[in-house]
Amino acid sequence: MKNVRIKANNIELTKAIEDYFKSKIDSLDKFIDSSDESIECNARVSKTTRHRQSGDFFKAEVSIHTAGKIFGAVSEKDNLYAAIDDVRESIMRKMTSYKDKKQTLFKRGASKMKNLLKGFKNDK
């Protein structure tokens, strides 16, 4: 993915974190139309504390803007890399579901057209 912007809140964005996040986001390219040049990905990692709970929690957020749809996911875990993995899985499920739905609608329409053409053929 070309246009990836990663921001960090309450945590230093190191090269290792940035590379790990980009590698996870780049693996989502197979779900996106390669001819779409308007793809934009905004990501944010942050360190938070949950009220009345001990320890730090890390939050990873991703928003992918394509020509047809906007996909977004958020994950909050006690490990930053686990949060990044979880947000990737979540957004991958959403993108797969959308892609499958589009294909199903296309196949359903093609099937109806095929049946319609069969009807014309049988009328002759």
Which pLDDT belongs to residue 123? Answer: 55
User: Can you tell me the distance from the alpha carbon of 24 to that of 73, in angstroms, rounded to the nearest whole number?
Assistant: 13
Residue 53, in any domain of the structure? yes
The arithmetic mean of pLDDT across residues 22-26, rounded, is 90
Residue 124, in any domain of the structure? no
Residue 70, in any domain of the structure? yes
- pLDDT > 70: percent of the chain: 92
Which pLDDT belongs to residue 115? Answer: 82
How many domains would you assign to the chain?
1
User: Can you tell me the distance from the alpha carbon of 98 to that of 28, in angstroms, rounded to the nearest whole number?
Assistant: 13
pLDDT > 90? residue 2: no
CATH of the domain at 59: 3.30.160.100
Residue 112, in any domain of the structure? no
Residue 46, in any domain of the structure? yes
Residue 74, in any domain of the structure? yes
Residue 72, in any domain of the structure? yes
Which pLDDT belongs to residue 81? Answer: 94
pLDDT digit string, tens, across residues 60-80: 999 998 887 889 999 999 899
Which pLDDT belongs to residue 113? Answer: 82
| Global confidence as pTM | 0.76
- Domain range enclosing 58: 4-96
pLDDT digit string, tens, across residues 105-123: 778 788 888 888 887 666 5
Ramachandran sector of residue 52 (left: φ over 0; alpha: ψ -120 to 50; beta: rest):
left
pLDDT > 60? residue 46: yes
Residue with the bigger pLDDT between 35 and 65: it is 65
